[in-house]
Amino acid sequence: MRPDTPSPADHTTEAERLLRTAAQYPEDQEPLLLQAAAHLELAGDRARAATLYDQLLTAPSPEGTPLIKALKAANLWEYGHEAEARAIIDGIRTSAPRTPQPWVVLAEALENHDELPQAHEAYTTALTLLVDPAEEVPYSTRPLLTGRHRVRRMLGKAHDSWDALADTVNPGPVPLDELHDPKRLWALGSSDPAELRAEITRLQAELGSYRAALSRPFPVALLHWPAAEYAELLAAHPALAAEYPATHAEHLSALESSLRELAAAGTPNLGIVTGSIPSYEAFAASERTSPDSPSLLAEYATTLAARGRALPWPPTATAPCWCGSKSPYRTCHGTPEAV
């Protein structure tokens, strides 16, 4: 095992920490238990991970159920329960969930077990349901594009419009056609130093993308306060006034501006978490820190994001704006005049 590769014991320790956090915050147990299950899978404890998935499915949220089922199916398939895994995957495909995560998990499970035509069909179905090529591609749906591109290269299919769109969202320096070239596997056995160096460069680029995803299991999230909470925050904790603009409208504009700047700098997976005074003050008490401490604000935002409270940014143009106005994003904070 490489020195920088977490050991199974490290993953088990992290899973136990997440389970303790889930017990502390039962209202947010779903994302915390999902993260714990992922660490148990990496530790090789697949049976215990399956138990967590079953626990979540006994009291599911309607939106989260397809993802939990997909994760359970992928886990079952990895430790020999193929027939049960296939039955779950077929059920998910029939239900056609309207979120990308379950599609990514089930398509990758099919791909990992050399079911390439079925994986290609799943990726294509998901993109047709979830992505409007005329709008900006949400971060959460990009794995569908890159996964489909990868499978099409292995199947020897010609580029189509979805592949062209995948090329536009690829953040790495190496084109997708090179990253997903089946001949790369042959190059690993080459004795030609030039071929090996070229392959190492491609692998490093791909590894960089994976590491970025692994290091950011939840969005880089900024903290949003609704109007009433904003006024109460500044009244109850005047020491925080220096951290915020004078008016709530300016607070909203500053958030949108900051998120656009982060996006322009190449920061992926951005999100927004909404704070409340009782939650913030309880968090301060749990950290044994004064709620007047400006440094606590970022910690509070990160904790909310880790507990699954972040909304992805930007919304699609026609989705309700993140600010809570219920207006479409493109006519609210999605307009150029909003910052």
Q: How many Cα atoms within 13 Å fall on the side-chain side of residue 56?
A: 31
User: Which residues fall within 8 angstroms of residue 189, CB to CB, at 6 or more apart?
Assistant: none
What gap in Å lies between CA 107 and CA 254, rounded to an integer?
A: 39
Contact by Cβ (8 Å): 70, 50: no
Residue-wise pLDDT for 228-247, tens only, equals 999 999 999 999 999 999 99
Cα angle, residue 267 at apex, residues 21 and 332 outer, rounded to 5°: 90
How far is CA 10 from each of CA 40, 110, 151, 201, 265, rounded to the nearest angstrom? Answer: 10, 28, 33, 29, 33
pLDDT at res. 1: 32
Residues 177 and 150: their CA atoms lie apart, in Å, by 8
**Which segments in the chain show pLDDT lower than 50?**
1-5, 207-216
Q: What is the pLDDT of residue 135?
A: 83
User: What is the model's pLDDT at position 214?
Assistant: 40
